[in-house]
Structure 1
Amino acid sequence: MAIHNDLGHKGEALAKAHLEAGGYEVIDENWVFGKAEIDLIAYKDGVIIFTEVKTRTGNGFGEPEDFVDERKQRLLVQAADEYIYLMNHQGDVRFDIISVLFDRYNNFKLKHIEDAFWPSAT
């Protein structure tokens, strides 16, 4: 497995632990629809939270969350729409980003951005 895949899996595991420690129930992981993959799908207080996890070893090119561009957001929304349909969810939804930034000593900084973006009308 490629090193970047290992890093991604490590970041997702840390994000999942963070959510669970915060009282979220992680109901799905790495859910795929079309060209989109939703890293973590959680549930709390009647809300389904679709979570994109971005993990990096440096921020020389920007913070990890900066890499969730409009194209990625559109793909996530399309996948979320399908998930909501399949689960017949009638409540609220939210899109979060969890960024995990490692330093050269393998220490990490985790940032949970709630309501990171909202589907556009386009």
Structure 2
Amino acid sequence: MATHNDLGKQGETLAKAFLEASGYEILDENWVFGKAEIDLIAYKNKVIIFTEVKARSGTGFGLPEDFVDTRKQNLLAQAADEYIYLMNHNGEVRFDIISVLFNRNNTHTIKHIEDAFWPSAT
């Protein structure tokens, strides 16, 4: 497995632990629909939270959250629509980003951006 894939998996593991420690229930991990994959689907206070996790080892090309572009947001929205339909969820939903930035000594910082975006209609 490539190093960037290892970093991504490690970021997702840290993000999941962070959410659980913050009182979120994890409903699904790496949920796939069509060309989209939702990293974490969480639930808290009757809200389903679709979470994109981005992990990077540096900021030379931008912050991790900068890599969730409009195309990615719309793919996530399509997958979220299907998930909402399958779960028959009639409540609120939210799209979050969890940014994991690793330092050279393999320590990390986590930034949870709640309500990070609202995808345009597809």
After TM superposition, is the score higher than 0.5?
yes
* Alignment check: 8 A CA contact 2:70 2:119 kept: no
Q: Which amino acid aligns with 1:70?
A: T
Q: Which amino acid aligns with 2:68?
A: V
Matched residue, 1:55: 55
TM-score (norm 2): 0.98
What is the Cα deviation at residue 2 of structure 1? 1.2
Matched residue, 1:3: 3
What is the Cα deviation at residue 3 of structure 1? 1.1
Whether 2:16 is the aligned partner of 1:16: answer yes
* Alignment root-mean-square deviation, CA: 0.7
Number of equivalences: 122
TM-superposition CA deviations, 1:56-111 (whole Å, max 9, x none): 00001100000000000000000000000000001000000000000111010100
Q: Percent identity?
A: 80
**3-state SS in 1 of match to 2:13:** helix
**3-state SS in 2 of match to 1:30:** strand
Matched residue, 1:77: 77
TM-score (norm 1): 0.98
* Unmatched tracts of structure 1, length 5 or more: none
* Unmatched tracts of structure 2, length 5 or more: none
TM-superposition CA deviations, 1:15-71 (whole Å, max 9, x none): 000000000000100000000000000000100000000000000110000000000
Q: Which amino acid aligns with 2:25?
A: E
Matched residue, 1:97: 97
**3-state SS in 2 of match to 1:97:** strand
What is the Cα deviation at residue 121 of structure 1? 3.4
